[in-house]
Amino acid sequence: MGRSSWTWTALLLLLPTLLPVPSASSSSRLTIHPGCQASSGGVDIPYPFGIGCFRPGFEIACVTSTTPVLAGTSPAVRVLSLSVMPRPEARVTLPVAYQCYNQTGNATDDFSYGTVDLNPAGVYRISNTYNELFVLGCYTLGYTNSGPGGRYRYMVYTGCMAYCNDSGSAQDGACAGIGCCRVDIPPGLADNKMKFSSCWWRDAMEFSPCDYAFIVEKGYYTFRATDLRMDVAQATMPLRLDWAIRGDGNGTSMSMSCAQAANRPGYTCKSDHSECVDSTNGPGYVCNCTKGYEGNLYLDEGCTNINECERSREEFPCHGECHDTDGSYDCRCCLGYQSNGDPKENPCNPKFPLAAKLTLGMNTVFNNKFSCTYISSFICNHVSEETAVQKE
Ligand SMILES: *[C@@H]1O[C@H](CO)[C@@H](O)[C@H](O)[C@H]1NC(C)=O
Ligand SMILES: *[C@@H]1O[C@H](CO)[C@@H](O)[C@H](O)[C@H]1NC(C)=O
Ligand SMILES: *[C@@H]1O[C@H](CO)[C@@H](O)[C@H](O)[C@H]1NC(C)=O
Ligand SMILES: *[C@@H]1O[C@H](CO)[C@@H](O)[C@H](O)[C@H]1NC(C)=O
Ligand SMILES: *[C@@H]1O[C@H](CO)[C@@H](O)[C@H](O)[C@H]1NC(C)=O
């Protein structure tokens, strides 16, 4: 069967844009367990993740010096980025599942359920908020199931049906059931094993020799009719995983909610200025610093005060003079200035006529030459403007 390498090439070309761009602010605040490797292949690795040094269940391995993967996964699940706060998340790539057919309509040996044993320690769930499921084909029901123990064998079954009338039916950019369908996924998905239930049709062999299914980050994938002939051999899609503290990470204890875990040994969110948040995707809990504090609670360091005044004014706005406080910050207008409201939101304007302002302003400049220095340039501008007016 003729394979088009176009799609895979396109995916490869797109991959670099998915890699996290290390930003000075995020990496300088990254918390690493002492003695742990901080990054691999441009991916920051904050504890509880780690190479050789990790909380059970969060091990990262390297297949080459530049490719971090989730340890214990086969085929290896490549890691694009890892984060602890504000959202516990791992971005990874997973293979596209497919089933191809031969000229007599038999499913060929060439197939993949997309299974990767993604979750050996059970700490991950596929994010239902940030991902969606696509099925491509011309007469196929594609679906995934997950989690033992439902009314039928699993807790979750979800998928959709894609159909084409003929070779001209599927349209680029349209994914509403013709050649392509998409659905939101429910919380609780712990792996991405896909299944197909399809009807073979001889004429479709030309333009749709296979069925495909994959979960992908919302907004990443746009359907192309030529993708009905996608070269699947190595095709992968980026998606986001939620993680949480679920048991002890090695399957020897039950996952607990915040309330259940709070008084037991091993509870992680103990330090001051921290809070426990129940996982919204699967069982378990995560730790977070309360507002105004930061730190990595999975290390023992706890949460420390954020000095908002040293951060960007976009993140923590202040139109006057900024003073850090424990857990927050004050913002006041400089002497001689006032704000029509809270100077965190509204600009500070001069209170008095120019002469008084000049004196007060100069005093302020001398008393506190760093925080209010901008006043001097403000005054200079006004003095020269008024002088110019008087001369006319
Ligand atoms: C398709 O596959 C079936 C089962 O594997 C086989 O018997 C049949 O000969 C194949 N047909 C073609 C055209 O390859
Ligand atoms: C598949 O192959 C078998 C023989 O291996 C044949 O009997 C059957 O009709 C073929 N077609 C389908 C659609 O299964
Ligand atoms: C459906 O496909 C048939 C056979 O290719 C074609 O004759 C017909 O015009 C198609 N209908 C539509 C609505 O495209
Ligand atoms: C599971 O992990 C805990 C630490 O979280 C450890 O003390 C325990 O020995 C581990 N059990 C097994 C069977 O590996
Ligand atoms: C953690 O706290 C920050 C700031 O207080 C908040 O934006 C974020 O949503 C919280 N994360 C979780 C998982 O609750």
> Given 243, 263, 284, which residue is the final one in a domain?
243
Whether residue 136 sits in one domain with residue 105 = yes
Residue nearest atom 6 of ligand 1, based on CA coordinates: 106
> Given 274, 305, 336, which residue is the final one in a domain?
305
- Using the structure block, give the residue that is written with the tokens 């919204």: 280
Whether residue 364 sits in one domain with residue 324 = yes
Mutual orientation of helices 354-367 and 374-391 as an angle, nearest 10°?
Answer: 150
Whether residue 253 sits in one domain with residue 229 = no
Whether residue 188 sits in one domain with residue 147 = yes
Whether residue 255 sits in one domain with residue 188 = no
Q: Could you give the count of Cα atoms lying within 13 Å of 363 in the half-sphere of its Cβ?
A: 8
Domain that holds residue 184: 93-243
Amino acid (one-letter) located at 3: R
- The reply to whether ligand 1 has any atom less than 6 angstroms from the CB of 102 is yes
Nearest-atom index, ligand 5, CA of 277: 14
- Is the preceding omega at residue 34 within 30 degrees of 0, hence cis? no
Please indicate, yes or no, if residue 25 is contained in any of the structural domains. no
Please indicate, yes or no, if residue 377 is contained in any of the structural domains. yes
CA distance 374 to 264: 54
Instruction: Report CA dihedral (104, 106, 110, 114) to the nearest 10 degrees.
Output: 140
- Using the structure block, give the residue that is written with the tokens 């123990």: 149
Tokens describing residue 21: 């761009």
Nearest-atom index, ligand 1, CA of 107: 2
- The reply to whether ligand 2 has any atom less than 6 angstroms from the CB of 103 is no
**Sign for the pseudo-dihedral over CA of 74, 146, 255, 280:** positive
Backbone φ and ψ of 51, nearest 5°: -105, 110
- The reply to whether ligand 1 has any atom less than 6 angstroms from the CB of 109 is no
Whether residue 204 sits in one domain with residue 105 = yes
Residue 288 alpha carbon to ligand 5 centre in Å: 6
- The reply to whether ligand 5 has any atom less than 6 angstroms from the CB of 168 is no
Please indicate, yes or no, if residue 99 is contained in any of the structural domains. yes
Please indicate, yes or no, if residue 28 is contained in any of the structural domains. no
Whether residue 326 sits in one domain with residue 298 = no
Probe target for ligand 1 pocket from 101, 102, 110, with the most ligand atoms within 8 Å of CB? 102
Whether residue 257 sits in one domain with residue 326 = no
Please indicate, yes or no, if residue 3 is contained in any of the structural domains. no
DSSP classification of residue 57: T
Nearest-atom index, ligand 3, CA of 167: 5
- Could you list the pLDDT tens digit for every one of the 392 residues in the chain? 344 433 333 333 333 333 333 333 333 356 667 767 788 888 999 889 998 888 888 999 988 777 899 998 888 899 999 998 888 999 999 999 999 988 888 888 777 788 888 888 889 999 999 999 999 999 999 999 988 877 888 888 999 999 999 999 999 999 999 999 999 999 999 988 899 998 888 788 889 999 999 999 999 999 999 999 998 777 899 999 999 998 766 666 788 899 998 888 888 888 888 899 999 999 999 999 899 998 887 877 678 899 999 998 888 999 989 999 999 999 998 888 888 889 999 888 887 656 555 555 554 444 433 445 444 344 333 333 333 333 33
- The reply to whether ligand 5 has any atom less than 6 angstroms from the CB of 276 is no
Residue 275 alpha carbon to ligand 5 centre in Å: 9
Whether residue 354 sits in one domain with residue 301 = no
- The reply to whether ligand 2 has any atom less than 6 angstroms from the CB of 98 is no
Are the CB atoms for 287 and 276 separated by under 8 Å? Answer: yes
What total of structural domains would you count in the chain?
3
Please indicate, yes or no, if residue 44 is contained in any of the structural domains. yes
Please indicate, yes or no, if residue 1 is contained in any of the structural domains. no
Whether residue 164 sits in one domain with residue 81 = no
